[in-house]
């Protein structure tokens, strides 16, 4: 009520000899003006002209997603667009993304509005006319996160085509190590810098609303833009079937909303109708589970010392496993049927199953609680299966603390979850054949 308006003032795309620069201006009247930037390193890549309406339209739409990080500080009811136009269907599309993409944020901050009440988009700018494209695109771009999932995709597709590039927003040593382990040089990595306006950090420090945003939606729109500019056809994400499970039982609140099949389908439909770049966005791992990804990853030792997916550890340099958060315990657990004990201890530096402080987190990961930890973690059944299998593998050996607790108190899962394949996916047939050739179905 104090800050009822959020304004998307402008976007701009320019270039120099070394980079493509995207700039936005957002404002919360009476509070702050934000000027975030995105920089795409040119290297030796051959980019199309950035001056077409089609490119400008993609940049405008990317700005709608980029704005979420700043909008969330006040959750202003009116989102005013001065630099473009959304039709009724586009407004509904973004209303859904804002509402469910900020689902965890709304839950943590106890915001109880309905989707209709949450935000209203008001377009005051002109609509860009964008023509259909008949360009023939080729090649594949693989976004790399640095965790086991994107490493599996890298390994599955490293020999798919000579026209294969890696993609990363915010490059670090972990990502470089994973890319190099897959046989790609740094020249094959699209490097992107994304600068958050420091005024947002100041507002967070002052107590304005803060929380998780749908970063994967930024990856979707930005990778689409880059793929179009380079003339590449496919964007192969590494989101799995497990991402579809909600974190709050009985409520559609999902930490991984922008990694779900629902968002993937929505984005594919939206991009075809409104972006018109002829780029195809899908997830290479969508038909399978976190457990199956862990099985595949366990057979790729070249990545084991390099990969990292701990969000706490990512804020340190060098990036490390903190060994205190739910994500660390999940990764340790899901890999345990295949790598426990010595190999896992070598990766993490300690046996996390012996950490008694993890007991409550462990119980929640296994599904005994209303809320699953707000991290990118697998389903309850997968985690219970992994624990059950690890206990079986140890036979008569003495069990570590967490496994002993599970063995004495919780439900065992004996169904074989390793031959799962969900046909409800968007994999082109040639990619499906690659994946099916690696799993037990």
Q: Which of 407, 378, 136 is nearest to 280 (CA)?
A: 136
Q: Which of 30-34, 64-68, 244-248 has the least mean pLDDT? A: 244-248
Q: How many CB atoms lie within 10 A of CB 27?
A: 18
Residues whose CB is less than 8 angstroms from the CB of residue 404 and which lie 6 or more positions away in sequence, other chains included? none
pLDDT band at 311 (very low <50, low <70, confident <90, very high): confident
pLDDT on residue 173: 92
Whether residue 321 is found in the same domain as residue 196: no
* 299 occurs within a structural domain: no
Kind plus residue range of the DSSP H or E element containing 12:
strand 5-15
In a domain, 291, yes or no: no
Q: Is 80 helix (H, G, I), strand (E, B) or coil?
A: strand
Domain boundary among 232, 249, 283: 283
Residue 257 and residue 140 share a domain: yes
CA distance 255 to 372: 9
Give CB contacts under 8 A, 24+ apart, made by 331-335.
331/147, 331/148, 333/362, 333/365, 333/383, 333/386, 333/387, 333/390, 334/290, 334/291, 334/294, 334/378, 334/382, 334/383, 334/386, 335/148, 335/294, 335/297, 335/298
Does residue 301 lie in a domain region? no
Say whether both 330 and 217 belong to one domain: no
CA angle in degrees (0–180, nearest 5) for 122-271-46: 115
Do residues 190 and 329 share a domain? no
Report how far residue 149's alpha carbon sits from residue 408's, in angstroms, rounded to the nearest whole number.
Answer: 32
Helices (H), 231-358: 261-270, 290-298, 326-339, 342-348
What pLDDT is attached to residue 306? 93
Q: What is the C-alpha separation between 427 and 286, in angstroms, rounded?
A: 8
Is there a domain that residue 300 lies in?
Answer: no
pLDDT beyond 80 at 293? yes
Summarize pLDDT for 29-56 with one digit per residue, the tens: 999 999 999 999 999 999 999 999 999 9
How do residues 319-353 score in pLDDT, each as one tens digit? 889 999 999 999 999 999 999 999 999 999 999 99
Instruction: Say whether pLDDT at 99 is over 90.
Output: yes
Domain boundary, last residue among 265, 283, 301? 283
Q: Kindly tell me if the per-residue pLDDT of 312 is higher than 90.
A: no
DSSP code for 49: P
Over residues 56-80, the mean pLDDT reads 98
Query: Is residue 440 over pLDDT 70?
Result: no
Contact yes or no for 352/327 (Cβ under 8 A): no
Q: Same domain, yes or no, for 242 and 322?
A: no
> Using H for helix, E for strand and C for coil, what is the string for 370-410?
CECCCCCCCCHHHHHHHHHHHHHHHCCCCCCHHHHHHHHHC
417 domain-assigned: no
Query: What's the domain range around 230?
Result: 5-283
pLDDT in tens, 213-224: 999 999 999 999
293, two tokens: 């990804």
Mean pLDDT of 290-303: 96
Residue 19, pLDDT score: 98
20 within 8 A of 50, measured Cβ to Cβ: yes
Q: Are 363 and 261 found together in one domain?
A: no
Total domain count for the chain?
Answer: 2
Statement to judge: residues 355 and 267 lie in one domain: no
Going through 199-273 in order, the beta strands assigned E by DSSP cover: 234-237
| pTM for the full predicted model | 0.96
Judge whether residue 315 has pLDDT over 90.
no
Count of Cβ atoms closer than 10 Å to residue 155 Cβ: 20
Q: Are residues 43 and 156 in the same domain?
A: yes
Percent of the chain with pLDDT over 90: 90
Mean pLDDT of 423-432: 96
Kind plus residue range of the DSSP H or E element containing 140: strand 140-143
Residues 141 and 20 in one domain: yes
273 and 348 belong to one structural domain: no
Mean pLDDT of the chain: 95
- Condensed to tens digits (0 to 9), the pLDDT of residues 394-412 reads 999 999 999 999 999 998 8
Q: Does residue 441 surpass a pLDDT of 60?
A: no
Q: Is 183 a member of any domain? A: yes
Say whether both 34 and 155 belong to one domain: yes
Residues 6 or more apart whose Cβ sits within 8 Å of residue 213: 68, 69, 72, 101, 102, 105
Task: Indicate if 359 and 267 belong to the same structural domain.
Answer: no
Task: Answer yes or no: is 431 within a domain.
Answer: no
Query: Among 20-29, 255-264, 409-418, which stretch is predicted with the lowest mean pLDDT?
Result: 409-418
296 assigned to some structural domain: no
Task: Give the residue-averaged pLDDT of 69-89.
Answer: 98
């Amino acid at each position: 009520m104090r800050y009822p308006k959020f304004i998307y003032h402008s976007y701009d795309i320019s270039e120099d000899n070394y980079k493509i620069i995207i700039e936005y201006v957002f404002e919360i009247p009476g509070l702050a003006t934000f000027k975030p930037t995105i920089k795409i390193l040119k290297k030796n890549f051959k980019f199309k002209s950035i001056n077409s309406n089609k490119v400008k339209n993609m940049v405008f739409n990317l700005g709608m997603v980029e704005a979420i990080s700043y909008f969330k500080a006040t959750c202003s009811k009116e989102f005013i667009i001065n630099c473009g136009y959304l039709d009724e269907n586009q407004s509904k599309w973004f209303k859904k993304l804002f509402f469910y993409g900020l689902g965890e944020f709304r839950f943590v901050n106890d915001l109880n509005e309905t989707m209709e009440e949450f935000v209203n988009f008001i377009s005051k700018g002109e609509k860009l006319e964008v023509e259909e494209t008949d360009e023939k695109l080729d090649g594949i771009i693989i976004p790399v996160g640095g965790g086991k999932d994107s490493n599996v995709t890298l390994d599955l597709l490293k020999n798919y085509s000579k026209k294969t590039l890696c993609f990363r927003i915010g490059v670090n040593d972990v990502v470089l190590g994973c890319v190099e382990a897959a046989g790609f040089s740094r020249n094959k990595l699209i490097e992107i810098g994304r600068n958050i306006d420091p005024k947002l950090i100041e507002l967070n420090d002052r107590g304005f609303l803060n929380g998780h945003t749908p970063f994967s939606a930024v990856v979707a729109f930005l990778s689409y833009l880059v793929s179009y500019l380079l003339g590449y056809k496919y964007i192969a994400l590494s989101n799995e079937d497990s991402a579809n499970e909600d974190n709050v039982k009985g409520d559609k609140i999902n930490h991984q909303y922008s990694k779900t099949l629902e968002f993937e389908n929505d984005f594919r439909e939206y991009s075809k109708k409104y972006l018109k770049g002829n780029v195809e966005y899908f997830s290479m791992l969508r038909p399978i589970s976190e457990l199956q990804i862990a099985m595949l990853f366990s057979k790729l030792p070249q990545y084991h010392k390099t990969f990292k997916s701990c969000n706490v550890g990512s804020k340190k340099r060098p990036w490390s496993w903190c060994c205190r958060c739910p994500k660390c315990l999940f990764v340790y657990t899901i890999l345990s049927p295949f790598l426990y004990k010595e190999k896992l201890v070598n990766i993490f530096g300690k046996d996390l199953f012996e950490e008694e402080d993890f007991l409550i987190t462990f119980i929640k990961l296994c599904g005994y609680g209303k809320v699953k930890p707000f991290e990118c973690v697998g389903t309850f059944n997968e985690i219970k299966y992994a624990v059950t299998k690890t206990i079986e593998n140890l036979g008569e050996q003495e069990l570590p603390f967490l496994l002993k607790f599970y063995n004495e108190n919780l439900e065992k899962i004996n169904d074989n979850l390793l031959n799962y394949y969900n046909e409800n996916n968007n994999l082109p047939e040639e990619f499906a054949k690659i994946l099916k050739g690696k799993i037990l179905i």
